[in-house]
Amino acid sequence: MLALLLEAQQSGVQISDELIRDEATTFLLGGHETTAIALAWVWHLLAQHPDVEERLAKHLEVELCGRPPRFEDLPRLAYLQQVLRESLRLYPPAWYMTRRADRDVEIGGYRVPKGVNVVMDIWAVHAATTLRPGEGGVRVKVRARASRQGSTVPSRRKSGSYRAFVAA
Ligand code: HEM
């Protein structure tokens, strides 16, 4: 990403050195730990689900033919995306977010007065069985089916119930 910013700057896009420095700091602080935690959970889950690991290895072998992935390969790596998304659902690295109400507001029937801090528990939202009746455990196969039908989003997912990256 740093290379992309520098390339853009050198090709004439108005980006100051200070902005690139600030972006690099954000990448390091916001991007490093989240990604490291996400990958640690992926390895953990793959170790627990050798069938998924085997299918993922075959998928990568077929799509990449043994070479390292490139940016432009990403759209074709659908099963990898499903594995990553499911791991992020089960173990979101940023597992909660906070916001302060800047006005009186009602959320889900609860009155939140102006100035109150609100904590959104992303892990609990992802895990809530009421959002996914009858489902439990790892759901890569459910996602694989949804993907074959032209969508990477399982049909039973309620809007807003996947929050690994999303600020509200
Ligand atoms: C698995 C990896 C990652 C996860 C789970 C993740 C998760 C999140 C979440 C939940 C937020 C919203 C926080 C909030 O609004 O309270 C956020 C914001 C942000 N993330 Fe990440 N992140 C990841 C990787 C990265 C990477 C690699 C970068 C940069 C290289 C990055 C840069 C940022 C930035 C700049 C924001 C703030 C956006 C804004 O101004 O609202 N993140 N991330």
Each residue's pLDDT tens digit, 95-112? 999 999 999 999 889 999
Sign of CA dihedral 78, 79, 83, 84: negative
Phi, then psi, of 80 in degrees rounded to 5: -60, -45
The CB of 35 under 6 Å from ligand 1? The reply is yes
pLDDT-derived band of residue 142, with 50, 70 and 90 as boundaries? very low
- Determine the Cα–Cα distance for residues 153 and 160; give it in Å rounded to an integer: 12
Q: What is the pLDDT of residue 138?
A: 55
- Determine the Cα–Cα distance for residues 102 and 105; give it in Å rounded to an integer: 9
- Which DSSP helix (H) or strand (E) runs through 107? strand 105-107
Do the beta carbons of residue 86 and residue 143 sit within 8 Å? yes
Tell me the Ramachandran region of residue 57: left when phi exceeds 0, alpha when psi lies from -120 to 50, beta otherwise. Answer: alpha
Q: Which of 91, 87, 74, 93 is nearest to 143 (CA)?
A: 87
The angle formed by the CA atoms of residues 47, 52 and 57, to the nearest 5 degrees, is: 90
The Å distance, Cα 166 to ligand 1 centre, comes to 8
The Å distance, Cα 65 to ligand 1 centre, comes to 31
Q: What is the pLDDT of residue 19?
A: 95
Percent of the chain residues past pLDDT 70, beyond the cut: 79
The CB of 34 under 6 Å from ligand 1? The reply is yes
Write down the mean pLDDT value for the chain. 84
Do the beta carbons of residue 123 and residue 87 sit within 8 Å? no
Q: What is the pLDDT of residue 146?
A: 42
The answer, yes or no, to whether residue 88 has pLDDT greater than 50, is: yes
Each residue's pLDDT tens digit, 28-67? 888 888 999 999 999 999 999 999 999 999 999 999 999 9
Do the beta carbons of residue 52 and residue 83 sit within 8 Å? yes
The answer, yes or no, to whether residue 157 has pLDDT greater than 70, is: no
What does the pLDDT average to over 158-167? 66
Q: Which is more confident, 10 or 137?
A: 10
